[in-house]
Structure 1
């Protein structure tokens, strides 16, 4: 079975999109569907290329049993539009940035539309504190769970504190 290739995109690929990648990977693994998906993340800007996710994103993910410390930031590449079945941006600004460089056949979506059904932007927590990262985690967990179900996969029950919110 050919995997569904999903790319999560934010501005610098250090806060929201690495969290989305980590959460979705975790949910897929819990559901026993690892071979059915290939998940990655990227940024529309290249300021942080090669860096780990923001320490607050790492800490937030870790508090929910998810390790994203091995991820490295990268900028979106032209080949991503060919290689990924689904490109999901965290906010409208990043959708607009992607639309400027994407070929017409690219499949671009706002996370708030495709995963949450609310049309909301996932706020960038970069300039805030831990509470903002926790809020982003909560929205991403909800959306990633819904997205996994929408893609035809029944998610197994979450164990541990992955689905908990402080």
Structure 2
């Protein structure tokens, strides 16, 4: 299935807010948050693009990300140290220009696809529209695979943000 890799226009001109959503906010969505923030910074968009993440469940609220996720991020030269899990609530849709769900179950929790709610991998140049598999019950290899999906998808997202007229990279 092929999806449009554009992003909806920002609600506030010159500022964009992305929210990443998974189940517990300790593996997939925080990995994507850390990578996307780094890519946004590298693209010169840090002052106009905010990225955060949450989980649909509240089991891990306030805790750092899974040690295996943090380890894989550190090995990839990303800093996972600031993450603390938070839970999705009904304020997220209005507070974000785009919510990206990590899998179909998370997407259903958000009410399904819409202009401002997509699957994260709708923006993946490989396997678009698929789930980001949950690596929680597996080994380190699953976290490495998630990181590879996240990195290439974040590159596509940043390219889409750079095409937004008032969000282009600053000199």
Q: What is the TM-score of this pair, normalised by structure 2?
A: 0.83
Q: Is the 8 A contact 1:81 1:106 kept in 2?
A: no
Partner of 1:29: 41
Q: 5+ unaligned residues in a row in structure 1: which ranges? A: 156-166
Q: What is the TM-score of this pair, normalised by structure 1?
A: 0.85
Secondary structure, counterpart of 1:75 in structure 2: coil
Secondary structure, counterpart of 1:124 in structure 2: coil
- Greater mean deviation of Cα atoms: 2-11 or 114-123: 114-123
Shift of 1:106: 7.2
- Distance change in 2, residues 1:93/1:34 (3 Å): same
RMSD between aligned residues: 2.0
Q: Is the 8 A contact 1:19 1:140 kept in 2?
A: yes
- Distance change in 2, residues 1:129/1:105 (3 Å): closer
Shift of 1:98: 1.3
Deviations along 1:93-120, one digit per CA (max 9) or x if unpaired, are 10001118xxx98721001113446111
Q: 5+ unaligned residues in a row in structure 2: which ranges? A: 1-12
How many residues are treated as equivalent by the alignment?
Answer: 152
Q: Is the 8 A contact 1:53 1:73 kept in 2?
A: yes
Partner of 1:160: none
Partner of 1:70: 82
